[in-house]
Structure 1
Amino acid sequence: MARHKEFEVNEVLDRAIHLFWVQGYEKTSMQELVEYMGIHRRSIYDTFGDKHALFMRALKRYQAIQNKKMRLLVEKQDPVKELLRLFLETTLEKEGEPQGCFIVNSGVELGILDQEVSSFVEDSYLKTEKLLYNLILVGQQTGEIDSKLDPEALSHYFMNAWLGLRTMVKTATNQEKLSGIINTTLSILG
Structure 2
Amino acid sequence: MGRTKEFEINEVLDKAIQLFWMQGYEKTSMQDLVDFMGIHRRSIYDTFGDKHALYMKALQRYKSIQNKKLRLLVEKQEPVKELIRRFLESSIKKEGEPLGCFIVNSGVELGVIDPEVAFLVEESYSITEKLLYDLIQTGQQRGELRASLEPEAISHYLMNAWLGLRTMVKTATEQRKLTSIIHTILNTLD
Superposition TM-score, scaled by structure 1 size: 0.98
Q: Does 1:186 align with 2:175?
A: no
Alignment of 1:1-190 (within 5 A): 1-190=1-190
CA deviation digits over 1:94-128, x for unaligned, max 9? 12100100000000000101000001101110100
Q: Write the distance in 2 (CA, Å) between the matches of 1:156 and 1:134.
A: 12
Partner SS for 1:87: helix
The alpha carbon displacement at 1:14 in A equals 0.6
AA matched with 1:118: A
Cα root mean square deviation, aligned: 0.7
The alpha carbon displacement at 1:58 in A equals 0.2
CA deviation digits over 1:76-95, x for unaligned, max 9? 21110000000001111412
AA matched with 2:79: P
The alpha carbon displacement at 1:143 in A equals 1.1
The alpha carbon displacement at 1:72 in A equals 1.9
Q: Write the distance in 2 (CA, Å) between the matches of 1:32 and 1:149.
A: 48
Q: Write the distance in 1 (CA, Å) between the matches of 2:95 and 2:75.
A: 22
Q: Write the distance in 1 (CA, Å) between the matches of 2:172 and 2:161.
A: 15
Q: What is the percent sequence identity of the aligned residues? A: 73
Partner SS for 1:147: coil
CA deviation digits over 1:26-72, x for unaligned, max 9? 01000110111000111000100000000000000001111121122
CA deviation digits over 1:11-32, x for unaligned, max 9? 1111100000000000100011
Structure 2 spans left out of the alignment, 5+ residues: none
AA matched with 2:57: R
AA matched with 1:125: Y
AA matched with 2:140: Q
Query: Where does structure 1 differ by over 4 angstroms across 4 or more consecutive aligned residues?
Result: none
Superposition TM-score, scaled by structure 2 size: 0.98
Tell me whether 86-95 or 36-45 shows the greater mean CA deviation: 86-95
